[in-house]
Structures are given as C-alpha cells and as structure tokens.
C-alpha cells in the first residue's frame, strides 16, 4: 500500500498532462476572446470591403467605358453633321446668289422694257399733242386772216410766217 502510493506520487505524468491541457485550453479561450475574434472579424471585414471596392471600381470603369464610347460616337456624329451643315449652307448660298442674280436680270429687263414703252408712249403723246396744236394753230391763223384787213405786205409776211411755221413744224416732225 505504502509503496504503491509512493510510486504513484513519484510519477507526475497525469498531473502534468492535465495541467498542460487545461492551461492550453484556457490560453486558447483567452486568445480567442481578446485577440483572435477581433482580428479575424476585422480581416474578414477588410476582405469584404476590398472585394466590394473592386466590384465598385469595375462597375465604374465599365460605365466610364460606355460613356466614352457614347461620347466618341456623338463626336463623330457632330463632325458629320457639321460637314453637312457647311455643305448645305454653301449650296443654299449658291442657290440664293443664282436666284438674286436671276431676279436682278429679270428686273433690269423689265425696267428696260418699261422704259422703252414709256418713251414710246411719251413720243406718241407728244406727236398727238403737236398735231392737235397744229390744227388749233391753223384754225387760229385762218380765223385771224379772215378777221383782219389784209395788206399785201401783211399778206406776204403772213404767208412767210406761215410757211416758216410750217417748215419748223415739218422739221420737228
């Protein structure tokens, strides 16, 4: 009895093993509570944040890419449009010039013709008025001849003036 107890007391295997196990488990729990828990939580959070940020950046880049594409096409469209506008403007300017020139031509012609017609009309009117004047004058002369006592000289002068008058009226004709 005494010897077995002494032997049992001499071997420290069980006590040491239990001590190491218990202290290791307590150490694990303490480390888990104070260091492991917070640090792994934070690392997971960081992993999630980085993943989210990368996804976000990817999305943004794609959006920017599509915007760039849109801008490029818009720029090209606007270039073509500008060329078209310039061409149109040139064409319309040319057309307008042509029409203005044509109009001016036709107007000038019209004015010319109008002027010619007016001149002719004026000439005719003048002729008409001259003729009526001549008739009136002849009538006046005749009445005056008839109304006055005519001397020879007077007669001669009268005839002369008459002829002269006729001559001038003939010349003017």
Partner 1 sequence: MNSHPLVSIGGLTFNVSNCLSTLIAAIIVFLIFFVLSRKIEMRPGKAQNCLEWIVDFTNGIVKSQFPNKSEARPFMLYAFVLFAFIFIANQLGLIFEIAVGGKTYVKSPTSDPIVTMALGTVTLVLSHFFCVQKFGFMGYLKSFAKPVSFLGPINLLEEFTNFLTLSLRLYGNIYAGEVLLDLLVKLSHTLGLITFVGVMPFSMIWQGFSVFIGAIQAYVFVTLSSVYISHKIVAD
User: For 173, which DSSP code?
Assistant: -
Answer yes or no: are the C-beta atoms of 134 and 169 closer than 8 Å: yes
| 19 alpha-carbon distance from chain centroid | 93
- Identity of the residue, 20 or 74, whose beta carbon is nearer to partner 1 in the bound complex: 20
Question: What phi and psi values does residue 148 have, to the nearest 5 degrees?
Answer: -100, 155
How many angstroms separate the CA atoms of 79 and 53, rounded? 38
Choose the stretch contacting partner 1; rule: CB under 8 A; options: 8-16, 72-80, 129-137, 143-151.
Answer: 8-16
Could you tell me the end-to-end alpha-carbon distance of the chain, in angstroms, rounded to an integer?
185
> CB-wise, 38 or 93, nearer to partner 1?
38
φ, ψ of residue 11 to 5 degrees: the values are -85, 125
Residues 118-137 that bind partner 1 (CB under 8 A): none
Shortest distance in whole angstroms from residue 58 CB to partner 1: 21
Tell me: does residue 14 bind partner 1 (CB under 8 A).
yes
Is residue 56 part of the contact set for partner 1 (CB under 8 A)? no
Nearer to partner 1 by C-beta: 13 or 172? 13
Cα pseudo-dihedral 125, 128, 134, 135, rounded to 10: -140
For residues 24 to 53, the per-residue mask of contacts with partner 1, x marking binding by CB under 8 A and - elsewhere, is: x-xxx-xxx-xxx-xxx-xx-xx--x----
Q: How far is the CB of 42 from partner 1 (least distance, A)?
A: 5
The nearest distance, CB 33 to partner 1, in angstroms, is: 10
Closest to partner 1 by CB, 33 or 144: 33
- Identify the CA nearest to 162 among candidates 129, 149, 128, 144: 144
Give the number of residues in contact with partner 1, rule: CB under 8 A: 33
Q: How far apart are CA 65 and CA 69, in angstroms?
A: 6
The site for partner 1 (CB under 8 A) is made up of: 8-21, 23-24, 26-28, 30-32, 34-36, 38-40, 42-43, 45-46, 49
């Amino acid at each position: 009895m005494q010897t077995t107890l002494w032997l049992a007391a001499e071997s420290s295997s069980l006590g040491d093993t239990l001590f190491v196990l218990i202290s290791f488990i307590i150490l694990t729990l303490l480390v888990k509570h104070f260091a492991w828990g917070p640090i792994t939580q934070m690392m997971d959070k960081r992993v999630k944040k980085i993943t989210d940020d990368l996804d976000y950046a990817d999305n943004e880049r794609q959006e920017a890419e599509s915007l760039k594409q849109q801008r490029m096409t818009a720029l090209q469209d606007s270039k073509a449009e500008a060329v078209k506008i310039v061409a149109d403007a040139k064409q319309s300017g040319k057309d307008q010039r042509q029409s203005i020139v044509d109009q001016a031509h036709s107007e000038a012609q019209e004015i010319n013709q109008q002027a010619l017609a007016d001149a002719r009309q004026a000439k005719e009117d003048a002729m008409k008025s001259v003729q009526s004047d001549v008739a009136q004058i002849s009538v006046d002369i005749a009445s005056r001849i008839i109304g006055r006592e005519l001397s020879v000289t007077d007669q001669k002068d009268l005839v002369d003036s008459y002829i002269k008058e006729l001559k001038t009226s003939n010349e003017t004709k």
